């Protein structure tokens, strides 16, 4: 049964996210009950394609979509999804967390004026000579943020 993604078109790009599995399945596999709230948020998050949201933004969207969800649930859900590997948290500015629906290997442009994030595909950036991590430590992740501006 574990022919997980069946990768119909050897979709290397599809990756772990398994975009073809219905959302209910993805939640179940993550050990999360498919509640009304989680399903709605998952649709808002994953159906439009790659995006970056803050908790407040997602809350507004949910409200706009006439979905009743408390802010506490927004936070719970974002963290549970992140925990489950469905989202990735990106820290760029003090006092605000972005959640990225693209969990594949990539980095970011950050437009300082607008607070907007844009993906840089993993192949378009590369680190040469990453230094050895200090004794006994393992690299868990490397984040690259390219800050860009209009002015200046």
Give the binding site for a copy of itself (CB under 8 A). 89, 91-97, 109, 111-112, 118, 120, 124-131, 133-134, 136-150, 152
Nearer to a copy of itself, 83 or 93 (CB): 93
Give the containing element (helix H, strand E) for 118.
strand 116-121
Could you tell which of DNA, a copy of itself, none binds residue 9, using a CB distance below 5 to 8 A set by kind? none
Three-state DSSP at 74 gives helix
The pair of structure tokens assigned to 49 is 């394609």
Smallest distance from the beta carbon of 22 to a copy of itself, in angstroms? Answer: 30
Smallest distance from the beta carbon of 89 to DNA, in angstroms? Answer: 9
Nearer to a copy of itself, 13 or 125 (CB): 125
DSSP, residue by residue, 4-23: TTTTTT--TTTGGG-TTS-H
The pair of structure tokens assigned to 111 is 């437009």
How far apart CA 76 and CA 35 sit, in angstroms, is 13
Residues engaged in binding DNA (CB under 7 A): 31-38, 54-56, 68-73, 75-77, 79, 94-97
């Amino acid at each position: 049964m574990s022919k997980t993604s069946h990768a119909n078109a050897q979709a290397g790009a599809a990756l772990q996210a398994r975009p073809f599995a219905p959302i209910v399945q993805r939640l179940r596999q993550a050990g999360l009950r498919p509640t009304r709230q989680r399903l709605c948020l998952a649709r808002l998050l994953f159906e439009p394609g790659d995006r970056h949201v803050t908790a407040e933004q997602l809350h507004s969207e949910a409200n706009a979509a006439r979905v009743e969800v408390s802010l506490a649930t927004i936070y719970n859900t974002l963290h549970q999804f992140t925990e489950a590997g469905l989202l990735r948290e990106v820290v760029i500015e003090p006092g605000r967390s972005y959640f990225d629906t693209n969990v594949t290997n990539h980095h970011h442009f950050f437009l300082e004026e607008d607070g907007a994030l844009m993906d840089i595909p993993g192949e378009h950036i590369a680190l040469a000579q990453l230094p050895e991590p200090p004794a006994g430590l393992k690299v868990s992740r490397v984040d690259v943020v390219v800050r860009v501006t209009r002015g200046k």
